[in-house]
Amino acid sequence: MSDDAVLLKVPVIRQLYHWDCGLACSRMVLKYLHRVSDEEFQEACWELKLTESVWTIDLAYLMCQLGVPHRFCTQTLGVDKGFRNQSFYKKHFDTEEDRVNDLFQKAESKNVVVKKCSVNIQDIQEHLQQGNVAIVLVNAVLLVCELCSSPVKYCCFLPVGQKCFCRKPEYQGHFVVVCGFNRSTGCIFYNNPAYSDRVCCTSVGNFEDARRSYGTDEDILFIFKES
């Protein structure tokens, strides 16, 4: 591992449903840290009532519940009301708004570390250089892997062989685990829970576009090996 290139051995775990990419990313991170068993993970998910709508703040609570040092950086402490009109958020917005805002309000008292701040690519690279990983919310519509031959259809996750007739949405929230970079080639490496057999790679520019897209709030959950 040099200052110029880092690739951490984070196991790739595929999501099971269309909604659990954040939980799959959390499992990847926890397996990398060797921190908890699958049973402990499931128990924590049940206790936190993580169902079909999982926000980044939920993942921060999950790390806290499992005793994993973390820092959640975001642009908005709570729910951005502007998301109400986005098709991606529409279905769950009204029921979720109060729940998510409540989690933000109680975060400090529950020892969940949340900061309102912007993070740059150098911050992420420095974090990776220490052997740490991060779960990043991206707009999957914009994120393009240079190694995958065709873009994955995030909207469906249909069984192999079935055709997808979705129209391309403007925003599709998706969590990935950032696990490396190469400064000389300008690459970022990440594990995409849509796949189970590969590490993906994109340019810093593409990664930044996907990470800073409207809808993500620039959410990033830094995970630390030790506190």
Tokens coding 132 = 């740490």
Angle value at C-alpha 135, between 202 and 73, nearest 5 degrees: 110
Q: What is the pLDDT of residue 150?
A: 60
Domain count of the fold of the chain: 1
Q: Which residues pair with 72 in a beta bridge?
A: 114, 221
Please, are residues 201 and 147 in contact by the beta-carbon 8 Å criterion?
yes
Please, are residues 193 and 35 in contact by the beta-carbon 8 Å criterion?
no
What's the domain range around 14?
A: 5-223
Rounded to whole angstroms, how far apart are CA atoms 225 and 132?
Answer: 6
Please list the pLDDT of the chain residue by residue as tens digits (227 residues). Answer: 567 999 999 999 999 988 899 999 999 999 999 878 999 999 999 999 998 889 999 999 999 999 999 999 999 998 888 877 777 777 777 788 899 999 999 999 999 999 999 999 999 999 999 999 999 999 999 999 988 866 554 444 444 444 545 556 788 899 999 999 999 999 999 999 998 888 999 999 999 999 999 999 999 999 999 75
Q: What is the pLDDT of residue 149?
A: 64
CATH code (residue 119): 3.90.70.10
